[in-house]
Every structure is written in C-alpha cells, then in structure tokens.
Amino acid sequence: MLLNKFILADIIDRAIKEDLGYGDITTDNLIAEDAQSKALITIKEAGVAAGLEIARSVFNKYDPDLKFKALLTEGDKLDAGTVLAEVEGSTRSILKAERLALNFLQRLSGIATKSREYVELVEAYPAQIVDTRKTTPTLRMLEKYAVKVGGAKNHRMGLDDCVMIKDNHLKAAGSIKNAVEKIKANISHTTKIELEIDELPQLDEALEAEVDIILLDNMSPEELKKAVQIVDGRVILEASGGITKENVAEIAASGVDIISVGALTHQINSIDIALDLN
C-alpha cells in the first residue's frame, strides 16, 4: 500500500512532540552546536527490514539538512549485521531523532518479518495471507504498509472500506437474509459485501444471500474443506480465527482463498536495530 504523506507527517509530528517535549537536555548541554557526525543503522538479527522511508522522514523532520542514505531495498531477507542506512550531518540532530526513527524501524521490521514467515509457510498453496484491523491505534497505515513489505496482503483499512457483516450485526439484524437485504438496499453497487459465519449450517443461507466473500470464523481444517467443496468456487472464502504458524499450512491446504491473521500486527517482536556514530 502507498503511504499517505499527510497522515505520515501527522504521525511523526505527534511522535516528536511526545518524545522531545521542550528539548533534549542531554544532547543540547553536551554536544557542540556545530558538531558533525556520520552514523550507521544496522540490523542486529536476521529479518525483513521495513520503514526506511519513515525513518528518513523522521530525521528530515528534525533537521532537513541531514543526509539519509538507504543502502538496500525494503522487503529483502537480511542477515544480522547488515547495514540498512547511513545518516550524516548535525550530531545533535542525529541523536535527537535516533530513538524515534529506530522505534518505527524496529516495530515495522518485526511486522514485515512475521508476515514473511506466514507467507513462506503457505507458499505451496494458492491461499493469500492478509492482515486485520487489529493494529495499534493511529498507526494502522504504517503497520499495514509493513505487512505488504513482508509479502502479505492487506484486508480492509477501516470501517468505510467494505461491508463486513459480523456475528453481532447478525444478532441485531435477526438473520443473514435480513442483514444482507438491508445492506444491499442502502449501499452502492460498487461496494463489496463480506459475511462472517461460524457454523457450516449457515453456509447455504450465506450463498443464497449472494455476498461477495464469506468469512469462515474459527472453523477446523475439516470444516473448511467441507465449505470449500460446498461453495465450489462460487464466492471467495476467507478463513479467520486462531491462525498460528503451527496450523496455517493445514488451513491453506483446505483450499480457502484467503487467510486473515491478526497476529501479523498485534503479536509482534520488534527487530533489534541499532544506530552507531562512526
């Protein structure tokens, strides 16, 4: 996905205000104003780097005169010790921006790395790995960007992206038929409709409602296989709920089209990345 520069600028502005406050009392009272340095940003463990352009934006927001040079293309699997980028210019500016830039790089690289792991686990099957809305509030755009860098796909960005009728919607509407009919009466013909079901007996009613995507929630691999046989390619089938690295290949083998994994963004170990002055 593309990074919206206006949203990105707002995220960085708020992050700087949180971190910098009224100034860096350590750096400003220790480092000479005219001091110049060069720094290397290095990944300390194997993984997939993501967020280099976000890091560049952080450094340039602190000081437009800083020179940031990315040394690789995001999305490649990297060995520990790989130098990701160089930063050159005011020592004060580099030190002030260091932690914030690394925070973005480390978290986004963690997401990209986990996304790549899931993608590789199902590469023998047609199923696509996608993310969910289980993201850090206000950071969804960046986290979904990292998912794409890792090789997975994005589900909807927000509630306005597509119709997704979930279990609580069905309880409120009374039935699948009622929910889908009312939705179709009120939305544009260009908007896709996804319907979540959690029991196989609901599948026939879901097919009769003629939705675009059926989400099979927390179903066993055996149930997923039965659903695939019943549907026989008539609609897109998405598996969700309880997806782990241990069971994702078996779920992909069921024949579903999409596997949505909340863990891509909400169960993350940040990748160890460091900045060192030369």
pLDDT in tens, 31-47: 999 999 999 999 999 99
Catalytic residue among 45, 205, 217, 272: 217
- The residue from 77, 153, 166, 226 that is catalytic is 166
Ligand-binding annotation for 253, yes or no, is no
pLDDT at 1 over 90: no
Q: Determine whether 196 is an active site residue.
A: yes
Q: Is 166 annotated as a binding residue?
A: yes
Q: Tell me, what's the pLDDT at 252? A: 98
pLDDT at 96: 98
The verdict on whether 45 is a catalytic residue reads no
The stretch 113-130 carries a mean pLDDT of 98
Asked if residue 132 belongs to a known ligand binding site, the reply is: yes
**List 98, 117, 194, 196, catalytic entry:** 196
Q: Which of 14, 99, 171, 182 is catalytic?
A: 99
Please tell me whether 107 is known to bind a ligand.
no
Any known ligand binding at 196? yes
134 noted as active-site residue:
yes
14 is in an annotated binding site: no
Is the pLDDT at 221 greater than 90, yes or no?
A: yes
Active site residue 17: no
Give me the pLDDT at residue 2, please.
Answer: 75
pLDDT > 80? residue 125: yes
Tell me the average pLDDT across 12-38: 96
Q: Which residue in 24, 53, 134, 153 is the catalytic one?
A: 134
Q: What is the mean pLDDT of residues 2-6?
A: 88
Under a CB-based contact definition with an 8 Å cutoff, are residues 111 and 275 in contact? Answer: no
196 pLDDT higher than 80: yes
The answer to whether the 5-119+268-277 and 153-260 domains have the same CATH topology is no
Any known ligand binding at 240?
yes
The pTM assigned to this predicted structure is: 0.95
153-260 CATH pick, 2.40.50.100, 3.40.50.970, 3.20.20.70, 2.40.50.140: 3.20.20.70
Spatial separation of the C-alpha atoms in residues 58 and 71, rounded to whole Å: 17
Q: What pLDDT digit, counting tens, does each position of 57-112 carry?
A: 999 999 999 999 999 999 989 999 999 999 999 999 999 999 999 999 999 999 99
Q: What is the pLDDT of residues 224-275, one digit of tens each?
A: 999 999 999 999 999 999 999 999 999 999 999 999 999 999 999 999 999 9
Average pLDDT, the chain: 96
166 catalytic per annotation = yes
Q: Tell me the CATH architecture of domain 5-119+268-277.
A: Alpha-Beta Complex (3.90)
194 appears as a binding residue in the annotation: no
| Every domain of the chain and the residues it spans | 5-119+268-277, 153-260
Q: What is the pLDDT of residue 218?
A: 96
